[in-house]
Structure 1
Amino acid sequence: MLRIGAHTSIAGGVDNAVDEQLDYDGNCGQIFSHSPQVWQDPNIGDDEAEQFRALSDDNDVGPWVIHTSYLVNLCTPKDDLREKSIDSMQKEVDAADKLDIPYVNVHLGAHTGAGVEGGLDNAASALENVDVPDGVTVLIESDAGSGTKLGGTFEELAGVLDRCDLDLDVCLDTAHMFAAGYDLSTPEGVDETFAEFDEVVGLEHLECVHLNDSKHECGTNKDEHAHVGEGLIGEEGMRAFINHDAVEDVPLVLETPTENGKSYDWNIERVREFYEG
């Protein structure tokens, strides 16, 4: 069964994210546990958590993913930012445990002068300071690779997985991969990209996909999402990706824009039109 959904809001209570997902006709999804632009603790009450779990179960919506704050930087060499990042990660995995959400998704962040190897070392050791509950897995998200941000190459993703004692997995973002230089615009490019991912990281580590088209050319390191099939990955590439064996049973989560009269419901319908399963 195709699992396709969107990033939905917890405004007014985390259980509202399920209702919003159902409005879009989605059957999996992603949330922030709080505003992603500030250091803030999740504030999820017991009643709304119970309602979230019940609504998700009753409507077969899942799996869900919590996306961490944008301020988290696991690669940083700065002690204060490192401690804030570890503390934030701990609260996110605890929130996931409370909500029966199996995944917490995080960007590695930027090494800001520590170098690639130093940044990967920092990220792995930071994650090892997080007490991850049973049933929750941290996913490292692929990045567009601008500046000193890490995670833009499969080798960097594998580097963290190899260094870290935690059982980590990966969330691939199609727009980020395309921006980082992995050409997903043709069936051949999609095949080659998945073959390289399997060789370097391992397809067994692919647990989630952020399904976004790109407004910018392949290899530009520019991260700006487009509607499915309407960006520079395009219809041919998106069709090939959605129907590839590598993502069979992998949840697809949209982070597409709301513009030109189109929102998540349009994109979810579009993905289902492309899907040949």
Structure 2
Amino acid sequence: MSTDETLRIGAHASIAKSAGPYDGPANAVHKQVEYGGNCGQIFSHSPQVWQSPDIDETAADEFRELTAEHDIGPWVIHTSYLVNLCTPKEDLREKSVQSMQEEVDIAAALGIPYVNVHLGAHTGAGVEGGLQNAGAVLDDLDVPDGVTVLVESDAGSGTKLGDQFEHLATVADETSLDVEFCLDTAHVWAAGYDISTPDAVAETFTEFDDVVGLDRLAYVHLNDSKHGRGTNKDEHAHIGEGEIGVEGMQAFIRRTAAEGIPMALETPTEDGKSFAWNIERVRELYSA
């Protein structure tokens, strides 16, 4: 199999001024070029705090121009880790709606088509109640034309939702918003789905198609895992060097590429290996 120029593989990239020569998100393009990627993911601000994006029109223009110049995309914005769509707590719900609204608005300003969010935890509302809460939060958003909210699969644990494909399908039914989805390979694995062999990958894709619909899978977070299947432990490993392994990662990469779905890495920087190493590794596995 020869390398296909349509393979969209990139990594999470920082928009911080310290990350490159530009004042803002254009630095993510600079970093993506450095990594050898052609799509990718950003945070619009620190994901650990409630904070509004601080990106002016000039910075947005630079980002769009450099993205077009280097043919990088599609980009996706990952929302704050504090956002909880499933919460029964009104104050947290209000903060989550406000934060999500700011993310979809800045995505429109940057020309980014996707905003990715975790469902969060129901914290006592129950699975059904939590998923209904998530649908209601999504209904409260005014999403600009050209922007789509992606609900990401989760590794599970505690009262977190999104580890089962049925949760994703239910959220889509609970909201009038046209949501699509992002699968994280490490999360899928941690949640108990087998993607360690070509046959297992095919079966998991078939199950996702039956339950959710492949036509609604818009992005993949491509990560190997440091922990075993079904452990609900979310710790990422270099591609092919974790518990999913070379055979499974290769099959998942090839199937994802065949479906025309872009992939963004969230792999660690350790053992002398960074995003650039992992992007090259993906291309090697795809074309081997």
Return closer, same or farther for 1:220/1:17 CA change in 2, 3 Å cut-off: same
Instruction: Identify which of 159, 163, 169 aligns with 2:174.
Output: 163
**Residues 67 and 106, structure 1, Cα contact 8 Å, conserved in 2:** yes
RMSD value over aligned CA atoms?
A: 1.0
2:14 is equivalent to residue 3 of structure 1: no
Question: Which moves more between the two structures, 238-247 or 215-224?
Answer: 238-247
Give the structure 2 partner of residue 188 of structure 1.
199
Instruction: Identify which of 225, 228, 241 aligns with 1:217.
Output: 228
Provide the C-alpha distance between the structure 2 equivalents of 1:109 and 1:25, rounded to a whole number of angstroms.
32
Give the structure 2 partner of residue 200 of structure 1.
211
**Residues 7 and 257, structure 2, Cα contact 8 Å, conserved in 1:** no
Structure 1, residues 16-59: CA drift from partner, whole Å, max 9, x if none? 00000000010000000000000000000111110000000011
**Residues 180 and 221, structure 1, Cα contact 8 Å, conserved in 2:** yes
Give the structure 1 partner of residue 21 of structure 2.
none
Instruction: Identify which of 101, 108, 113 aligns with 1:97.
Output: 108
Q: CA offset at residue 276 of structure 1? A: 3.2
Give the structure 1 partner of residue 39 of structure 2.
28
Q: Which runs of 4+ in 1 moved over 3 A?
A: none
Return closer, same or farther for 1:247/1:78 CA change in 2, 3 Å cut-off: farther
Give the structure 1 partner of residue 94 of structure 2.
83
Q: CA offset at residue 247 of structure 1? A: 5.0
Q: CA offset at residue 249 of structure 1? A: 1.3
2:151 is equivalent to residue 146 of structure 1: no
Q: CA offset at residue 183 of structure 1? A: 0.8
How many residue pairs match? The answer is 277
Amino acid at match of 1:223: D
Structure 1, residues 152-175: CA drift from partner, whole Å, max 9, x if none? 000000000111100000000000
TM-score, normalised by the number of residues in structure 2: 0.95
**Residues 10 and 40, structure 2, Cα contact 8 Å, conserved in 1:** yes
Aligned positions of 1:5-154 closer than 5 A:
5-12=10-17, 13-154=24-165
**Residues 194 and 246, structure 1, Cα contact 8 Å, conserved in 2:** no
Amino acid at match of 1:133: P
Q: CA offset at residue 146 of structure 1? A: 0.9
Amino acid at match of 1:77: P
User: SS at 1:44's partner residue?
Assistant: coil
Provide the C-alpha distance between the structure 2 equivalents of 1:252 and 1:228, rounded to a whole number of angstroms.
12
Give % identity: 70
Amino acid at match of 1:4: I
Provide the C-alpha distance between the structure 2 equivalents of 1:163 and 1:45, rounded to a whole number of angstroms.
35
User: SS at 2:287's partner residue?
Assistant: coil
Provide the C-alpha distance between the structure 2 equivalents of 1:245 and 1:218, rounded to a whole number of angstroms.
20
User: SS at 2:202's partner residue?
Assistant: helix
Provide the C-alpha distance between the structure 2 equivalents of 1:261 and 1:245, rounded to a whole number of angstroms.
27
Question: Which moves more between the two structures, 223-232 or 240-249?
Answer: 240-249
Structure 1, residues 118-173: CA drift from partner, whole Å, max 9, x if none? 00000000010010000000000000011100000000000001111000000000
User: SS at 1:243's partner residue?
Assistant: helix
TM-score, normalised by the number of residues in structure 1: 0.99
Provide the C-alpha distance between the structure 2 equivalents of 1:152 and 1:219, rounded to a whole number of angstroms.
10
**Residues 135 and 174, structure 2, Cα contact 8 Å, conserved in 1:** yes
**Residues 85 and 120, structure 2, Cα contact 8 Å, conserved in 1:** yes
Amino acid at match of 1:180: A
**Residues 114 and 148, structure 2, Cα contact 8 Å, conserved in 1:** yes
Provide the C-alpha distance between the structure 1 equivalents of 2:194 and 2:260, rounded to a whole number of angstroms.
23
Q: CA offset at residue 188 of structure 1? A: 1.1
